[in-house]
């Protein structure tokens, strides 16, 4: 939208650490971060949608507005999102409170799409946001996060603490500035091999059959 750049820039001027960018994400990044999402993905939780660049792309992927929950802390963006996506659930709240709020009955979410500037946040807040988001994510679901940095914006200790792994989806070189998208998923549960109990010394053990020689 023509006025989105001005809205984003003014919001960045008032709170640069919270907004994290001076302009909304471009089409290349929106295509990339939503690439693996379809209409069958189910309910989508979007964190920090801003002016809705990713949200529009989700709708083009076939996601229904009724399946979208948008978490936005910027009051200026809130009114815009409510007008643009009247059938979506738009909540004015800090994503760091996801651990204390109950947004869903159970864990039906198929994907989380995050436009939050995690690199500007404390480790404690990153844990609260990602841990809270995954409390709503069903088995097999994923958390998609973009970054302008050269590596995953979620530190390895945080991934280890939450039992997650991060994989690079791809890089949006044409985005201004260039960005990368990472996919966070739960690590598979390790299954320990169980040994048969040692035979009791008092229990006779039958000898194994031997093969006859030709």
Residue 176 confidence class, pLDDT cut points 50, 70, 90: confident
Tokens read off for 11:
């919001």
- Rounded Cα distance between 158 and 127, Å, is 7
Give the closest residue to 111 by CA, choosing from 144, 85, 139.
144
- Rounded Cα distance between 135 and 6, Å, is 35
Mean pLDDT of 30-58: 96
Summarize pLDDT for 109-167 with one digit per residue, the tens.
999 999 999 999 999 999 999 999 999 999 999 999 999 999 999 999 999 999 999 99
pLDDT value, residue 29: 96
CB-CB neighbours of 8 under 10 Å:
22
Q: Say if residues 39 and 137 touch (Cβ distance below 8 Å).
A: no
pTM, entire model:
0.79
Bridge-based pairing state of the strands 44-47 and 109-114: parallel
- Beta-bridged to residue 145, according to DSSP, are 114, 182
- Rounded Cα distance between 165 and 188, Å, is 9
3-state helix, strand, coil in the chain (%, to 5): 35, 20, 45
Tokens 């995954």 locate to 134
Look at residue 32 and tell me whether its pLDDT is greater than 60. Answer: yes
Neighbouring residues of 47: CB distance < 8 A, sequence distance ≥ 6: 71, 95, 112, 113, 114, 115, 116, 129, 133
- Rounded Cα distance between 210 and 212, Å, is 6
Look at residue 27 and tell me whether its pLDDT is greater than 50. Answer: yes
| Residue 202 three-state SS | coil
pLDDT value, residue 127: 97
Residue 114 CA: distances (Å) to CA of 42, 67, 209: 16, 16, 63
Lowest mean pLDDT among 76-90, 167-181, 200-214: 200-214
Give me the count of residues in the chain.
Answer: 214
């Amino acid at each position: 939208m023509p006025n989105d750049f001005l809205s984003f820039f003014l919001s960045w001027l008032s709170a640069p650490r919270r907004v994290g960018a001076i302009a909304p994400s471009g089409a290349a990044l929106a295509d990339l971060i939503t690439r693996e999402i379809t209409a069958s993905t189910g309910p989508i939780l979007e964190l920090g949608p801003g002016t809705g660049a990713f949200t529009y792309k989700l709708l083009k992927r076939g996601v229904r507005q009724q399946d979208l929950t948008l978490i936005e802390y910027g009051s200026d963006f809130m009114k815009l999102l409510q007008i643009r996506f009247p059938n979506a659930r738009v909540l004015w709240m800090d994503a760091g409170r996801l651990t204390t709020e109950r947004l869903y009955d159970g864990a039906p979410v198929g994907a989380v799409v995050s436009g939050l500037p995690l690199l500007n946040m404390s480790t404690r807040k990153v844990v609260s946001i990602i841990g809270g988001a995954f409390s709503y994510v069903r088995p097999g679901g994923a958390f998609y996060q973009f970054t302008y940095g050269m590596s995953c914006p979620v530190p390895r200790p945080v991934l280890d603490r939450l039992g997650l792994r991060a994989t690079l989806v791809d890089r949006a070189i044409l985005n201004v500035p260039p960005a990368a998208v990472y996919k966070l998923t739960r690590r598979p549960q390790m299954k320990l091999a169980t040994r048969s109990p040692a035979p009791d010394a008092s229990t006779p053990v039958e000898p194994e059959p031997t093969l006859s020689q030709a």
